[in-house]
Structure 1
Amino acid sequence: MTLLLSLCVGVMSGQVYKNSSNGVEERTQDLLSRMTLEEKVGQLLCPLGWPMYEKNGKGVEVSMQFKESLKQNHTGMLWATFRADPWTRKTLRNGLNPVLAAEVANSIQKYAMEETRLGIPLFLAEEAPHGHMAIGATVFPTGIGLASTWAPELIEEVGKVIGREVRLQGGHIGYGPVLDLVRDARWSRVEETYGEDPVLAGIMGAAMVRGMAGDGLHDKYGLIATLKHFLAYGTPEAGQNGGITTIGPLDVMQNYLPPFKEAINAGALSVMTSYNSIDGIPSTSNRYLLTDVLRNKWGFNGFVVSDLASIEGLHGSHYVAKSVQEAANMALSAGVDVDLGSNAFVNLVNSVNAGELKESLIDTAVARVLRLKFEMGLFDDPYVDPRKAERMVRCPEHIALAREVAQNTLVLLKNEHEILPLKRDPGKILVVGPNADNQYNMLGDYTAPQDSDNVVTILEGILNKLSPEQVEYVKGCAIRDTSNVNIDKAVEAAEHSDVILAVVGGSSARDFKTEYLETGAAVANNQSVSDMDAGEGFDRATLDLLGKQMDLLKALKKTGKPLVVVYIQGRPMKMNWAAENADALICAWYPGQEGGNALADVVFGDYNPAGRLPVSIPRDVGQVPIYYNKKNPRPHDYVELSATPLYSFGYGLSYSSFTYSDLEVAPVGKEEFVVNFKVKNTGNFDGDEVVQLYLRDEYASVVQPVQQLKHFNRLFLKKGEEKQVSFYLNEKDLAILNQKKEWVVEPGTFQLMIGAASDDIRLSGTIKVD
């Protein structure tokens, strides 16, 4: 009734922007014309959201800080209102469950609509890289695990669930996917990315965006996806988070920009700048990237948001601005529309009044934000139903999808003498290791606190398959902490077991002892949580297992019992010992809330693994940066080590075997070819094969990669079944970036390589372009 009355009053008083029958552009310009400079700038501010509510008994209400924020700054957007983690100090006790989150969102919108002069609803932006970072939401595998599925259709379903759960609780913007290419495993945020390859990252990122966007902004579950981080944030010197990036302009255009373009073409309407600089230019003030490329060349019509405090970083980190006000002017002029953190753009009012900045620049940025609010229907109905949030967030269907996705992420790296899958009656199994029964080590960074029954550990997954009498558990050691070690007990248990399942690796699990920067990145020091070795801010100088983990594995190996090693990790760690000594080796990354069930499904043969590596696994940190598509010439061996990775991009085993045959390549146009071949399951298990097509340009005017993925297809084959696979190559697949920075197809010969991994080529041929 209140909303209807407000609309009627708006129409009667000639307020075009309140009349839903008017067009979006008409409403946007009308509202913009009514706004003061201060109100305009307020729409570009996105402060921290979790201080904006208070819990009052069993209910919630907006806080005085929120009221002051609207009164003083006319705030138009909030970030991480529903977030809970050690940094925010929001826990299961004082944080928001889905019902309360929806009630908070409604309270925020009601106050903004009814208690401010213009009644502008707020955008609520939430972290959502592998599930909504809020209490009670579904937790999927982290990005590197999602990429390991090589299954874009499945990732699109994940995106739909993320969009639905964020919107059900009253959010509108999801931060993710993370499209940074990663070529240095030392970097702390490898887990968030889709790997080292621009084609794979682009396809998987676009799939996630399609899922999150739904049927568009008019869709009640359609989410605005914010692509992170623009640009080249995942290749910092020395693996230092936020460090400088030194790459050439051709590399930027050929490798780092394409994944973002694919995702924007798929419907992404927001892009986040990165903390780093490229060749001396900070990304948050890079007009070439933010305006010339993103706006003018690609036609991007969404908004650009700074990473938290990255505008202030122009002054305090990069030292290219003499003050925060100057930094704000630089960022807005370059193409940044929204200030995440809100401590820089508040200065824009002074900049305009002092004649340093044209108000028209602010108008342009504000219009970009308002248009999306109108298109999403927030001016007409910004409210959500808490009962739906209670019923639909982390519902059984979403949990089932989390298990399916986790199954698809698991990469089988070794299976000596086909020890896996284990028999249904394996005798006594010892489940051992620091990650065997640790809920938070299953989840990765950007994860909210969890109720104890929400996450299935590896031990719990195994117990869901076997009776308690068949399973023994010993922790053995921690990830980093060396003060609590019981390797002797683990060895004693192994002596009385028939098979050992050792779960080692790393951790991105934060706790309340960890110190944090204002950006939310953890501070790695002696006072920090002792087991955390990955996650934002935890860069590594080595890739070895930390603590006493290697001592544990070696002691278990000496028992002579069959040894299955599982790595749960946030980055590609050094696996040389396990590759040589374990009977089976599985890379699980951070598999999410259903990871324990998924791993048990694979171990006992209820699911045939088919995950493939989206990154190369190095033999040693001295090889870094290592990635499969380096430019010519091919790397040569070191004095003491091979130049090849331990496991290559695209690699992964199955319980079955597959053969490739009957390659045929035929032109179907001037620069178009069809590639046909057959794949047959020659093993004893039904399963998936991930077929990969690579090209190598034999001679070109600019140095090209030794090979480059162009297409892939994950297909299911029953045992004995054969299918024909077809790939179509077109101008986009054959084009290179020449010295003039133009995409062209040059005449010549291309080597065609088809196989099960970048280093496992089964069929080869040539393509000639006249």
Structure 2
Amino acid sequence: MNGRAFSRRAFLAGSVALAPVARALAQARAQAPDPHIEDLLRQMTLEEKAAQLTIFRSPTASAAINPQGPHEPTREEALADAGRGMAAGYFNGFDPAFNRALQQRAVEDSRLRIPLIFAGDVIHGLKTTFPIPLAEAASFDPELCRRTARASAEEASALGLHWTFAPMVDIARDERWGRVMEGAGEDPWLGARIAAARVRGFQGDDLRAENSLLACPKHFAGYGGVEGGMEYNSVEISETALRQVHLPPFEAAFAAGALTTMTGFNDVAGVPSTADRHLLTEILREEWRFPGLVVSDFQSVRELIPHGFAADEEDAVLKAFTAGCDVALSDDIYVRHLPALVRDGRLAEAALDQSVRRMLRLKKASGLFANPYRSLDPGRAAKAARRPEALALARETARKSIVLLKNENNQLPLPKTGKSLAFIGPFVSDKDQTLGNWSLNGMPELAVSLEEGVRAALSSDARCTFTPGCAAESEIPGGIEAAVQAAREADIAVLYLGETGKMSGESAATTSIVIPHCQQALAEAVAATGRPLVVILKHGRALALQGAARDAPAVLCSWFLGSESGRALADIVFGDFAPQGRLPVSFPRAPGQEPFYYDHRPTGRPQIGDVTDFTARYREVANEPLFAFGHGLTFSVLDYGETKLSAPRLSRDGALKISARIVNRGGRAAHEVAQLYIHRRVAAITQPVRQLKGVQHVALAPGETKEVVFELRPSDLAYVQPDLSMRADAGLFDIWIAPSAVGGQKASFSLD
């Protein structure tokens, strides 16, 4: 028996809070003709129209994340192009003075005086750098993510930007993929809420405000499913997986008001996403009625040729544009080929006009026609950079992103007095690796190292040493010997191990998600001293921990924490702040388990108990994580009581309350993140063994008991059906309130 259908949009609208800027989306959907824009279109030449669909990399770009493009304008060329109306805008130029000069040429010298738009890759802050997005996701706190995006927008808009190519909302389930660090992890429920929060944060309450930054959720779509976790690789996923796993964060971002999106480098089932009509037109435009702008990824229109999807540049332009890609990024390929395609009759000018109309509407919605010098005040930049309140937020976010993975014998927190401490590892005094990848315009020289954070937290006469032991990926002569001697002379050894910023991020896929060999050798040597050991991990992905790094009594997952890294770590290590982070990705037992994620579908031969033969598992390891999605300890001891239901059945127009009591049996205050999971036992398409459906943050004093109460409605139980509709069927469900994806006491109910 099939139940009442629930649209995915209705589901998201009911479960993701919408920002005031969502009104702009509704207004844009109305598509009422704008006389000013229509008048501009009538006056524009084909070349000017094509130029409005071209974004160039700024000649002042401070970092070259991507390869050199076929047409990278110099300062003089950019100024000349702006004066001729031959560019829509520029990106990654964090220079408000030069951007203002470009804008002046565009609005004072060009024939139609159409303002430029300035974009950039603002992924996790700029001069104030926040934790990498994956780390922020570990807070399980969308509101915190909204606040950091808002602070990033304040700083980026002061540096002359109107638009960010963020948030990256790809669901990533293979930790070998370097861009795991750029998103919110493996879960679509959490990813959707964080996507919406970041959009609201970037854009603020008014898109025309000086401090608003247009959001651009990316990469549409399925990029997180690249085969083998290899960057730029192909994607083979079913339509069901696309819609149930990869698309929800995009829908949530659009519901929150995002008016642009970016394609990916990947193909899906053999069709590159930049030229995928099914994605860009059938789903995005026709199903979702998305009125905004689609921009290619960096030169991804041109890359249709090596993909084997287009014969030459002209063919690539025709296929990308007719599929629904409005704008070519960092490439003059549209400028050189769109006019001829229209003149030859292979492309209707009305189609070209529609894309140009979207760009002009976007500029108008951003207030650029009314105030072209919006966000282009050079004097504002110095005042906005590294403001005290932004740095305080960076420290707060970093603390809340740290995950306590293990803490045997209450090894943490460390004492501030009475014990000597040896801090060992390549990152203990390092500043350069505090920020992580995608920290354009960051200032590592001003970041706080672990050594600086520890020294600030302790008195001047504290007994502590700082020894590198090795470099990140190579040995130091005598380094291990010096580290062993430092450990032997201390009461407690703290190892700070992991990745450099370049070991995760774009173009940083890896076949083995382990700590580099030289660091592992250092860990084994220090562990052999027998000193009590704490391991702090620096990383942009889940790691397959081995040996001493896995077996240490205490292990902290700290990611790349940004500008205030050292202070935040000291806050946790010395117990001035209780850890509250939770894993947004599963830590496997071995690299060969990847892709590995908690909400996998059941098999016909699941591993149950100690049975190993003829079950779904590898010979070497059990089919379970080392540390599960949602896992994270506190400095106290918490017990979860029975999962209770307000009724055994959920009616079609009703709601079900689910509750459990959580007791703090330890002697320290704790911040717990209670999680609600469900499992549909029987479905038309097999459903995951567990799915996250709710999160609550709970503060518990020592000895305190609190009850957490969640509410489920039938719309929360909808799933993608064989006909691709979103519907909640009648049936039986298991449900847990748990501290992670593998805990909690199970209860059951039925949907009528």
Question: Which residue matches 2:552?
Answer: 582
For residue 595 of structure 1, the aligned residue among 565, 585, 599 is: 565
Q: Could you tell me which amino acid in structure 1 is paired with residue 395 of structure 2?
A: R
**CA drift at 1:380:** 2.0
**CA drift at 1:295:** 1.5
Q: Could you tell me which amino acid in structure 2 is paired with residue 585 of structure 1?
A: V
Question: Which residue matches 1:767?
Answer: 749
* CA pair 168-219 structure 1, distance change in 2 beyond 3 A: same
Question: Which residue matches 1:5?
Answer: none
Question: Which residue matches 2:26?
Answer: none
**CA drift at 1:208:** 0.9
Higher deviation after alignment, 710-719 or 192-201: 710-719
Asked if 1:409 corresponds to 2:401, the answer is: yes
Residues 644-698 of structure 1: per-residue CA shift (max 9 Å, x gap): 1111110010012223336233347535322233333332222211110111001
Question: Which residue matches 1:78?
Answer: 90
For residue 660 of structure 1, the aligned residue among 619, 640, 644 is: 640
Question: Which residue matches 2:79?
Answer: 67
Question: Which residue matches 1:716?
Answer: 699
For residue 221 of structure 1, the aligned residue among 184, 206, 211 is: 211
Distance 2:170 2:326 in 1: 21
Asked if 1:419 corresponds to 2:389, the answer is: no
Distance 1:389 1:144 in 2: 28
Q: For residues 92-491 of structure 1, what are the structure 2 equivalents within 5 Å?
A: 101-132=95-126, 137-316=127-306, 318-346=307-335, 347-383=337-373, 384-448=376-440, 450-451=442-443, 453-467=445-459, 469=461, 470-482=463-475, 486-491=479-484
Question: Which residue matches 1:495?
Answer: 488
Question: Which residue matches 2:48?
Answer: 39
Residues 723-750 of structure 1: per-residue CA shift (max 9 Å, x gap): 3322221233111211111111111111
Question: Which residue matches 1:20?
Answer: none
Residues 528-553 of structure 1: per-residue CA shift (max 9 Å, x gap): xxxx4322112111122214111100
Q: Residues 609 and 653 of structure 1 are in contact (CA less than 8 Å); yes or no, is this contact kept in structure 2? A: yes
For residue 618 of structure 1, the aligned residue among 562, 566, 588 is: 588
Q: Could you tell me which amino acid in structure 2 is paired with residue 31 of structure 1?
A: L
Q: Residues 52 and 62 of structure 1 are in contact (CA less than 8 Å); yes or no, is this contact kept in structure 2? A: no
Q: Could you tell me which amino acid in structure 2 is paired with residue 549 of structure 1?
A: Q
* CA pair 671-288 structure 1, distance change in 2 beyond 3 A: farther
Q: Give the secondary-structure state (helix, strand or coil) at the position aligned to 1:78.
A: strand
Higher deviation after alignment, 435-444 or 147-156: 435-444
Higher deviation after alignment, 717-726 or 141-150: 717-726
Distance 1:679 1:325 in 2: 63
Q: Give the secondary-structure state (helix, strand or coil) at the position aligned to 2:262.
A: strand
Distance 1:473 1:659 in 2: 38
Distance 1:299 1:685 in 2: 51
* CA pair 30-722 structure 1, distance change in 2 beyond 3 A: farther
Distance 1:105 1:51 in 2: 9
Residues 303-347 of structure 1: per-residue CA shift (max 9 Å, x gap): 11100011111112x111101111111111111111101232121
- State the structure with bigger RCO (CA 8 A, min sep 6), 1 or 2: 2
For residue 677 of structure 2, the aligned residue among 691, 694, 705 is: 694
Q: Residues 426 and 498 of structure 1 are in contact (CA less than 8 Å); yes or no, is this contact kept in structure 2? A: no
Q: Could you tell me which amino acid in structure 1 is paired with residue 88 of structure 2?
A: G
Q: Give the secondary-structure state (helix, strand or coil) at the position aligned to 2:537.
A: strand
Q: Residues 629 and 708 of structure 1 are in contact (CA less than 8 Å); yes or no, is this contact kept in structure 2? A: yes
Question: Which residue matches 1:519?
Answer: none
Q: Residues 198 and 259 of structure 1 are in contact (CA less than 8 Å); yes or no, is this contact kept in structure 2? A: yes
* CA pair 205-417 structure 1, distance change in 2 beyond 3 A: same
Q: Residues 457 and 596 of structure 1 are in contact (CA less than 8 Å); yes or no, is this contact kept in structure 2? A: yes
Higher deviation after alignment, 559-568 or 341-350: 341-350
Q: Residues 430 and 473 of structure 1 are in contact (CA less than 8 Å); yes or no, is this contact kept in structure 2? A: yes
Q: Residues 429 and 452 of structure 2 are in contact (CA less than 8 Å); yes or no, is this contact kept in structure 1? A: yes
Q: Residues 478 and 547 of structure 1 are in contact (CA less than 8 Å); yes or no, is this contact kept in structure 2? A: no
Q: Residues 52 and 64 of structure 1 are in contact (CA less than 8 Å); yes or no, is this contact kept in structure 2? A: no
Q: Give the secondary-structure state (helix, strand or coil) at the position aligned to 2:301.
A: helix
**CA drift at 1:52:** 8.1
Higher deviation after alignment, 394-403 or 237-246: 237-246
Distance 1:52 1:574 in 2: 36
Q: Residues 557 and 581 of structure 1 are in contact (CA less than 8 Å); yes or no, is this contact kept in structure 2? A: no
Residues 331-381 of structure 1: per-residue CA shift (max 9 Å, x gap): 111111111012321211111122211111111111111112112221222
Distance 1:690 1:128 in 2: 29
Distance 1:463 1:266 in 2: 43
Distance 1:405 1:119 in 2: 42
Distance 1:676 1:52 in 2: 52
**CA drift at 1:426:** 4.5
Higher deviation after alignment, 469-478 or 648-657: 469-478
Asked if 1:605 corresponds to 2:575, the answer is: yes
Question: Which residue matches 1:704?
Answer: 687
* CA pair 106-643 structure 1, distance change in 2 beyond 3 A: same
**In percent, how many aligned pairs have the same letter?**
36
Residues 466-521 of structure 1: per-residue CA shift (max 9 Å, x gap): 2455221111111212365611011111111111111000012xxxxxxxxxxxxx
Question: Which residue matches 2:627?
Answer: 647
Q: Give the secondary-structure state (helix, strand or coil) at the position aligned to 1:572.
A: coil
**CA drift at 1:216:** 2.9
Distance 2:451 2:61 in 1: 40
For residue 732 of structure 1, the aligned residue among 715, 722, 728 is: 715
**CA drift at 1:218:** 2.7
* CA pair 141-52 structure 1, distance change in 2 beyond 3 A: closer
Question: Which residue matches 1:562?
Answer: 532
Q: Give the secondary-structure state (helix, strand or coil) at the position aligned to 1:464.
A: helix
Residues 103-132 of structure 1: per-residue CA shift (max 9 Å, x gap): 222222112111111111111011111113
**CA drift at 1:185:** 1.1
* CA pair 204-578 structure 1, distance change in 2 beyond 3 A: farther
CA RMSD of aligned residues (A): 1.9
Asked if 1:747 corresponds to 2:741, the answer is: no
Distance 1:495 1:24 in 2: 76
Q: Give the secondary-structure state (helix, strand or coil) at the position aligned to 2:406.
A: strand
Q: Give the secondary-structure state (helix, strand or coil) at the position aligned to 2:396.
A: helix
Q: Give the secondary-structure state (helix, strand or coil) at the position aligned to 2:661.
A: strand
Distance 1:684 1:483 in 2: 43
Distance 1:113 1:621 in 2: 55
Q: Unaligned regions of 5+ residues in structure 1, if any? A: 1-22, 54-60, 83-100, 509-531
Residues 231-260 of structure 1: per-residue CA shift (max 9 Å, x gap): 111221122101001111111111111111
Q: Residues 328 and 345 of structure 1 are in contact (CA less than 8 Å); yes or no, is this contact kept in structure 2? A: yes
Question: Which residue matches 2:58?
Answer: 49
Distance 1:204 1:52 in 2: 29
* CA pair 259-161 structure 1, distance change in 2 beyond 3 A: same
Higher deviation after alignment, 204-213 or 659-668: 659-668
User: TM-score of the superposition, structure 2-length normalised?
Assistant: 0.89
**CA drift at 1:440:** 2.3
Q: Residues 309 and 343 of structure 1 are in contact (CA less than 8 Å); yes or no, is this contact kept in structure 2? A: no
Q: Residues 714 and 751 of structure 2 are in contact (CA less than 8 Å); yes or no, is this contact kept in structure 1? A: no
Q: Residues 208 and 368 of structure 2 are in contact (CA less than 8 Å); yes or no, is this contact kept in structure 1? A: no
**CA drift at 1:715:** 2.5
Residues 255-305 of structure 1: per-residue CA shift (max 9 Å, x gap): 111111111111111111001111111111111111111122112222111
